[in-house]
Structure 1
Amino acid sequence: MGLSSTNNLFESFHSPTKGQLTKDDVFSLIEQTIASNKGSFEIIVGADSQLKSRGTFFALVITVIRPGHGGSFFYHKFQEQRYSSLQQRIFQEAVYAVGLATEVRQYLRDHDHDTPVRLHFDIGANGPTRKFIQSLLSLAASNQFRAEIKPHSFCASTIADKFTR
């Protein structure tokens, strides 16, 4: 699956405050929020997955934060085949996050907003995912994204994690 092939994969999202939304609705809400408020915004895309007996459960999250004023988030949950390899699962999370972040960034650019979009990866210097850090940070950089890892990747390690349990 290529990095830009998320176009039709994530068509519905959930907002804790607005309920079910289409991806177009989410992108429009993000754009309206940025356009109607002064100040800077942070947009972060993160993903997490959980291996279960029935398959691999993924959650993708888009957070919109106005520093000092709070924020909101939207998430999409889905199940796929069982990825028994940690490396395969972590890289699949990253590919989904990069693809979705690319779509968000392009939508905002198409609407004359140059708000940066960052990535949060659910990996860290401690534990078995440490060996993937350089590869995933390179993946982010090659797609012109700044990425963060644990303990600074709350979008993936806290918010998305909540929806894979």
Structure 2
Amino acid sequence: MGLTYESPSLFERFHSPTRGLLDKADVFSNIEQTVATSTDTYELIVGADSQLRSRGTYFAIMITLIKQGRGGMFFYHKIQERRYTSLQQRIFQEALYAVGLASELRQYLHEHSIDIPIRLHFDIGKNGPTRKFIHSLLSLAESNHFPAEIKPHSFCASTIADKFTK
């Protein structure tokens, strides 16, 4: 049996560079309306990144909606937690946040008859200290029925979310 995650209501407010501060319900509704009123092909990517600082660990959780070949939009939530000194704890917390939020989004879209693929992006790669977590995190994604990508293809986590943890 795979590890699953029930997302708490941590992510109730999101920021959008173009729309400002939004409730999660507004973010989900915005995604639904964008996809439902267009004939373009879209995909959703959920990812997270974290940064360890002296006062705690800073996480950025991202939802990225991409219109294939035509750009996209993203929404992010920032949270500060206790200081995770273990790289493994931090990486797994990022992954659990991403899986939880992606699961909520998938449920919402299913309830509104929107069929759009959702992928996860993990900020791990074959080079460096995170390589030992690849199998576990890809198994986590698979057990929750999400395709997942790692570096260098996980831009939602390793590039976009990274900007908001600084």
The bucket for the TM-score relative to the shorter chain is over 0.9
Is residue 4 of structure 1 aligned with residue 6 of structure 2? yes
Cα separation, 2, equivalents of 1:57 and 1:156 = 13
Local SS of the residue matching 2:150? strand
Provide the residue aligned with 1:26 in structure 2: 27
1:103 partner letter: E
How much does 1:153 deviate? 0.2
**What does 1:52-63 correspond to in 2, within 5 Å?**
52-63=53-64
Local SS of the residue matching 2:33? helix
Equivalent residue pairs, number: 163
Could you report, residue by residue, the CA deviation over 1:102-134 in whole angstroms, capped at 9, with x for unpaired residues?
Answer: 011111111001111100000000000000000
Cα separation, 2, equivalents of 1:5 and 1:86 = 21
Provide the residue aligned with 1:152 in structure 2: 153
Cα separation, 2, equivalents of 1:110 and 1:70 = 26
Identify unmatched segments of 5+ residues in structure 1: none
Q: Percent identity?
A: 72
Identify unmatched segments of 5+ residues in structure 2: none
Which contiguous aligned blocks of 4+ residues in structure 1 show a shift greater than 2 angstroms?
Answer: none
TM-score (norm 2): 0.97
Give yes or no for contact 2:7–2:101 (8 Å, CA) kept in 1.
no
Provide the residue aligned with 1:79 in structure 2: 80
Give yes or no for contact 2:58–2:79 (8 Å, CA) kept in 1.
yes
Instruction: Give the RMSD, CA atoms, in angstroms.
Output: 0.8
**Comparing 132-141 and 33-42, the one that deviates more:** 33-42
TM-score (norm 1): 0.97
How much does 1:70 deviate? 1.1
How much does 1:76 deviate? 0.2
Cα separation, 1, equivalents of 2:134 and 2:7 = 23
Provide the residue aligned with 1:95 in structure 2: 96
Cα separation, 2, equivalents of 1:131 and 1:40 = 35
Cα separation, 1, equivalents of 2:70 and 2:130 = 33
Cα separation, 2, equivalents of 1:68 and 1:142 = 30
Cα separation, 2, equivalents of 1:114 and 1:42 = 10
How much does 1:39 deviate? 2.3
Provide the residue aligned with 1:49 in structure 2: 50
How much does 1:35 deviate? 0.3
Provide the residue aligned with 2:105 in structure 1: 104
How much does 1:5 deviate? 2.7
Could you report, residue by residue, the CA deviation over 1:1-37 in whole angstroms, capped at 9, with x for unpaired residues?
Answer: x71133x110000000000000000000000000011
Could you report, residue by residue, the CA deviation over 1:25-72 in whole angstroms, capped at 9, with x for unpaired residues?
Answer: 000000000001102111000000000000000000000001111100
Cα separation, 2, equivalents of 1:5 and 1:70 = 28
